[in-house]
């Protein structure tokens, strides 16, 4: 499938917005269990390389002028580096994660304690959800994934906490088990909020919803998605992506964005990329 790009006359001027991110150093990163198709415990991991690659992401955000905070890593929680899964924040409220797999369940309370200590109004999840892995703010709506990890029941809970429209989307390819592996939020705010996505990661009804809501979206190829190219972070102008997602990179340039390709290949061994390592903090205004 080819990338969908606009005509040259459609290229827009892009303005970068300063963002606020929470990250976790991968000091204990390794792959010792298998809870997604990317994980192969029999293949040795290199924690030092994971730290080096993570640092390049941190330094990129710092160079772009974003505000960065850190949560302390906990020994025995090797996936804690994927901070996006730690919860969902909006309007000064934090909705905590409640993980599917026992291997990650201790992460939810750890992130909840961090939110509470930083003054967020914390709402403890009763339903299974994996934070911004499956919950993405696009404009005034929250796109909410289900199918592999986050339960559909959590979508109603989310709507009650934040009083926002929640749009349910069903994932059907287990390689793209979280919504943030199949959708990238390109323009997070305003009437022009837009996305990039992999159509075949969704069932037919969800594809129809995405086509209707985002007619100008970038459709990304499976070839780029397999590098977790869509697991990216945009400030509205600069888009940090997987370096190997070359087709997606070209599409972004066509649209007037500035793509920044990084190598997070060691962290990909755990099934995560740029976005997985990045939780957005949205303080009350």
pLDDT tens profile 177-218: 999 999 999 987 777 799 999 999 999 999 999 999 999 999
Q: Return the percentage of the chain with pLDDT > 90, whole number.
A: 89
Per-residue b/e over 80-94, b at no fewer than 16 CB within 10 Å?
Answer: bbbbbbbbbbbeebb
Would you state the pLDDT for residue 3? 43
284 confidence band (pLDDT: 50, 70, 90): confident
Active site (catalytic) residues: 178, 276
Name the 3-class secondary structure at 129.
strand
Q: What is the pTM of this model?
A: 0.93
Q: pLDDT for 209-263, tens place per residue?
A: 999 999 999 999 999 999 999 999 999 999 999 999 999 999 999 999 999 999 9
Measured between alpha carbons, how far is 57 from 271 in angstroms, rounded to an integer?
16
Spatial contact of 237 and 215, defined as CB atoms under 8 Å apart:
no
* Residue 212 CB partners (closer than 8 Å, separation 6+): none
Per the prediction, the chain carries an average pLDDT of 94
User: How sure is the predictor about 21, in pLDDT bands with cuts at 50, 70 and 90?
Assistant: very high
Residue 85 has pLDDT above 60, yes or no: yes
**Reading across the β-sheet that carries 279-280, which strands appear in turn?**
67-70, 20-23, 279-280
Q: What is the DSSP string of 185-234?
A: EEE-SSTT-EEEE-GGGB-HHHHHHHHHH-TTPEEPPHHHHTTTTTS-EE
Q: What is the pLDDT of residues 93-137, one digit of tens each?
A: 999 999 999 999 999 999 999 999 999 999 999 999 999 999 999
Residue with tokens 């007037």: 256
Structure-token pair, residue 34: 């298998």
CB 217 within 8 A of CB 197: yes
Which residues neighbour 48 within 8 Å (Cβ) at sequence distance 6 or greater? Answer: none
User: Does residue 75 or residue 284 have the better pLDDT?
Assistant: 75
């Amino acid at each position: 499938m080819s990338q969908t790009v606009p005509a040259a006359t459609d290229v827009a001027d892009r303005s970068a917005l300063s963002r606020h991110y929470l990250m976790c150093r991968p000091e204990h990163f390794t792959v010792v269990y298998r809870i997604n198709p990317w994980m192969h415990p029999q293949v040795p991991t290199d924690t030092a390389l994971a730290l080096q690659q993570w640092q390049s992401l941190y330094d990129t955000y710092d160079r772009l002028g974003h505000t960065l905070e850190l949560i302390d890593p906990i020994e025995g929680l090797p996936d804690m580096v994927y901070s996006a899964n730690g919860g969902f924040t909006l309007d000064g409220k934090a909705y905590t994660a409640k993980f599917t797999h026992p291997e990650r369940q201790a992460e939810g309370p750890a992130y909840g304690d961090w939110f509470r200590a930083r003054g967020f109004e914390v709402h403890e999840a009763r339903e299974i959800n994996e934070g911004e892995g499956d919950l993405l703010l696009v404009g005034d709506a929250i796109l909410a994934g289900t199918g592999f990890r986050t339960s559909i029941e959590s979508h109603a809970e989310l709507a009650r906490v934040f009083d926002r429209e929640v749009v349910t989307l069903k994932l059907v390819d287990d390689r793209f088990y979280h919504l943030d592996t199949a959708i990238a939020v390109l323009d997070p705010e305003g009437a022009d909020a837009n996305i990039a996505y992999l159509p075949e990661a969704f069932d037919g009804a969800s594809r129809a919803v995405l086509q209707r809501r985002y007619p100008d979206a970038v459709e990304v190829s499976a070839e780029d998605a397999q590098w977790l190219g869509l697991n990216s972070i945009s400030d509205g102008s600069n888009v940090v992506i997987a370096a190997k997602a070359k087709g997606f990179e070209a599409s972004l340039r066509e649209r007037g964005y500035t793509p920044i390709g990084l190598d997070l290949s060691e962290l990909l061994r755990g099934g995560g990329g740029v976005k997985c390592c990045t939780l957005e903090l949205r303080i009350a205004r």
